[in-house]
Structure 1
Amino acid sequence: MKIIFMGSAAFAVPSLMALAEAEHEIAEVVTQPDKPAGRGREITPCPIAAKARKMNLQLYQPKSVKKPEVISHFKERAPDLIAIVAYGKILPIELIEIPKFGCVNVHSSLLPKYRGAAPINWAIINGETETGVTTMRINEEMDAGEILLSCKTDIDDVEDAPMLHDRLAQMGSNLLVETISQIESGRIRPRNQDHTKATYAPMIRKEDGLIDWSMRAKDIYNRVRGFKPWPGAFTHLGGKSLRIHEAALTDLDFDAAPGEIIETDGALAVKCGSGVLYLIEVQLEGKKKMPAQDFLRGYKVKKGTILK
C-alpha cells in the first residue's frame, strides 16, 4: 500500500519504523519544519524528521497543511492511505478526503476517553489503572472519528509518563500495522465512538505542576508521575521552586498541616491533606537534581517547615 506518513514527536518513531519493516511503500514522510531549540537556539529537526533522514525517506516539511499548494502536493502524491501519529496539527477536510482508504490516526488512549493533546499524562494524573492505544479514522472533529482497532494495557503503580509513553508508542506501532493489514484485506470493522462517554486530556500548562498539599498523598504521587518530563511536579521552599522528581507513598500518617515537613532525619516526608508523601529525588531552583538525603545534607531544612 502506498502510504504518506505524518508525524513529528518521538511517539511516532516506532510507527514509522514498523511501516517500513512491514514493507509498505512510504511515498513521503510529512513533518513539521526544523525549529530553533535548546539554549543555543540551534535549528533542530523533530524526531520524525531526523529518523526519516536516517532512513533515506522522502521528507516534506510544510509550515501549514491548509495552504492550497500543500493540498495539491498531497493530491499529486496520490496516497492510498495517510497514517498520522503525533503530528501536532489538525488536518483540513480537503486533505482528509484525498486517500482512497482514508486517514488513520494512532491515539494514545482508549477512545472515547482522553481525547486531546496529553492523554498519557492525564491518565496517570487521574489515577487510571488501565489505558491503551486506538487507531481511528480522522474526521473534522478532534479525536472523534470511527474506531478501527484498540489495545489495552495496565498502568503499573510506579510507571511514570515517559515510561508509559514508550510502551504505548511501541503498542501503537504494532496496532497501526495490524490496522492497515485489515484495511487491505477488507477485514476492518469501523465502529462509531460513544460521544456521551468522551473525556478530555487538555494541553498541559506550567502552572498545572504546582502541588496542592491539601490533596491526598496518592493524588500528589500521581501528579509527580504524570507531569514528567514537563512541567514536573513542584512546590516552593524558602521562596525558591523545589521540583520533585521521585516520590513514594507510605502507610504512615501524622497530625500536621498540609505541606508541613514532618521528618528530616535522613528522609524528607511531607504531610498531605490525607496521608504522607516521601520525597525521594528533588531539585532546588538553580541546582542539580539529587537524592533527598544529599539535599538535606547541603540544605538545612527544619522539621515543621511548610512547603507552599
Structure 2
Amino acid sequence: MDIIFFGNGARSLPCLKVIKNSSHTIKAIITHPKIESKWFAQLSQIAEISNIPLFSPKNPNEKVFENTLKFFHADLFILAGYGKILKNNIIQIPKIMCLNLHGGKLPKYRGSSPMNWALINGEDFFTLSIIQLVKLIDGGPVLMEKTFDINENTTIVDLHKIANHEFPKMLVHVLENIESDTLKISKQDEKNASYYPIRVPEDGFILWDVFNAKEIHNRIRALTAPYPCAFSFFQNKKIKFISSELNKKSFFGEPGRIYKIKDDRFLVSTKEGSLWITEAFFDESRLPFLPVGNRYESFSTIKEIGLNIYKNKNLDENKK
C-alpha cells in the first residue's frame, strides 16, 4: 500500500522505520516545521537517505497543501506523534483511511497527554490504541488496542518506552489486517467519552496544602524529565522534582514542611500523609536540592509565594 506518514517526536521514528522496512511504500513524510520540532533533523535525514519527499507545513489544512497530498494518491495516512489537527478535507484524501496512534484508553482518554493523565489519575493500567481518524477528535473506531499494567512507581518515561516499543508492532499488525481485509473495528461508546486538555508547565505546581501524598507522588512521576517536571518553591527559589516515594508509615504534619532528612532524601508532609522526595534540583542553577539541617525550614505554599507568581504571570500576559 502507498502511505503518507505524518510524524513527530520519539514515537515517530520506530514507526517510520518499521513501515520503511515493510512491503509498503512511503510516498511522503509530513512533520512539524524545523523551528517547532527537535525531531525534524532525524526525520529529514531518513527522508533524504531514502529519497522520500519531506514536507513541514505550518498549517497542513491549507488548500495548497491539500492539493500536494492529493498528488500522491495514497491509500493510507498514518499519524504517529503528529501534533497538528487535520480537518475533514484532509482526512478524506486517502483511498482507504487515516490511522492515528493514540496513547490512551478510548473513549475515556480522548484529547492530549493521555499517558500523563493516566499517571496523574492513579490508574493501574494504560492502553495504547490505533484508531481510524475521523472529524471528531479521537472519536474514530478502534482498530487495535493493547493494555499494560502500571504500578505506583511507574513514570512517564517508562510509559513512553513501552509505547515506542509496542506501537510499531501494533502498526504492522493493523496494516496486515487492512491488506488482507480482515480488520476488525470497534466503535466507541459516546456515553463514556471524556476529553483531557493540553498540559502546560504551570499545571505542575505542587500545592502541598491542597493535594494529598499520593496525588503529589502521581504528579511527580507523570511530569518527570523530559517533561517540565512538577515543581514548588523554597525560599523564593523554584525547585523541580524528579522522583519521590510514598511514605509507608503514617505521618502527618504541616503541609509543605520538611520533617526528616535521610540518605539524601527528605520527608515532606502534605494535606494528608507524607512522601519522600528522592531527587530534586534548583531550576536556575540545575544543582541538586539537598536541604541541610534547619537551613531550609519549609516549602512555600500557594498561600505565600504562589499567589504572587500567578498574579505576575497574568500581568505579563495582559501587557502583550
TM-score when scaled to structure 1? 0.90
Measured at CA, do residues 139 and 46 of structure 1 come closer, stay the same or move farther in structure 2, by a change above 3 Å?
farther
In 2: Cα distance, 1:175 partner to 1:131 partner:
15
1:40 is aligned to none
1:219 is aligned to 215
2:16 is aligned to 16
2:32 is aligned to 32
In 1: Cα distance, 2:176 partner to 2:19 partner:
11
1:278 is aligned to 276
Residue pair 1:253, 1:271 contacting (<8 A) in 2 also: no
Residue pair 1:132, 1:168 contacting (<8 A) in 2 also: no
1:42-94 Cα offsets, whole Å, 9 max, x none, are x9726534544455432122222122121111111000111111111111212
Residue pair 1:269, 1:276 contacting (<8 A) in 2 also: yes
Measured at CA, do residues 218 and 147 of structure 1 come closer, stay the same or move farther in structure 2, by a change above 3 Å?
same
In 2: Cα distance, 1:223 partner to 1:208 partner:
9
Measured at CA, do residues 54 and 270 of structure 1 come closer, stay the same or move farther in structure 2, by a change above 3 Å?
farther
SS at match of 1:63: coil
1:232 is aligned to 229
SS at match of 2:135: coil
The within-5 A match list for 1:2-13 is: 2-13=2-13
SS at match of 2:11: helix
Structure 2 residue identity aligned to 1:29: I
Task: Give, in angstroms, the shift of residue 120 of structure 1.
Answer: 1.0
In 1: Cα distance, 2:9 partner to 2:194 partner:
23
The within-5 A match list for 1:1-308 is: 1-35=1-35, 45=40, 48-53=43-48, 55-214=50-209, 215-228=211-224, 229-264=226-261, 266=263, 267-290=265-288, 295-297=290-292, 301-302=294-295, 304-308=297-301
1:82-141 Cα offsets, whole Å, 9 max, x none, are 111111111121221111111011111121121112111111111111112111111111
Measured at CA, do residues 265 and 79 of structure 1 come closer, stay the same or move farther in structure 2, by a change above 3 Å?
closer
Structure 2 residue identity aligned to 1:149: M
Over aligned residue pairs, what C-alpha RMSD do you find? 2.1
Residue pair 1:10, 1:47 contacting (<8 A) in 2 also: no
Structure 2 residue identity aligned to 1:256: G
1:13-41 Cα offsets, whole Å, 9 max, x none, are 1111111122311111111121177xxxx
Measured at CA, do residues 66 and 234 of structure 1 come closer, stay the same or move farther in structure 2, by a change above 3 Å?
same
Kindly report structure 1 stretches of 4+ aligned residues shifted beyond 6 Å.
Answer: none
Residue pair 2:3, 2:75 contacting (<8 A) in 1 also: yes
In 1: Cα distance, 2:237 partner to 2:35 partner:
31
Question: Number of aligned pairs?
Answer: 298
Q: List alignment gaps of at least 5 residues for structure 2.
A: 302-320
SS at match of 1:75: helix
SS at match of 2:23: coil
SS at match of 2:126: strand
In 2: Cα distance, 1:139 partner to 1:36 partner:
25
Identity of aligned residues (%): 30
Task: Give, in angstroms, the shift of residue 303 of structure 1.
Answer: 7.1
Measured at CA, do residues 183 and 255 of structure 1 come closer, stay the same or move farther in structure 2, by a change above 3 Å?
closer
SS at match of 1:188: coil
Measured at CA, do residues 227 and 50 of structure 1 come closer, stay the same or move farther in structure 2, by a change above 3 Å?
farther
SS at match of 2:4: strand
In 1: Cα distance, 2:8 partner to 2:43 partner:
5
Residue pair 2:236, 2:300 contacting (<8 A) in 1 also: no
1:236-268 Cα offsets, whole Å, 9 max, x none, are 111111111111111123341111111135541
In 1: Cα distance, 2:251 partner to 2:96 partner:
60
Q: List alignment gaps of at least 5 residues for structure 1.
A: 38-42
TM-score when scaled to structure 2? 0.87
Measured at CA, do residues 277 and 51 of structure 1 come closer, stay the same or move farther in structure 2, by a change above 3 Å?
farther
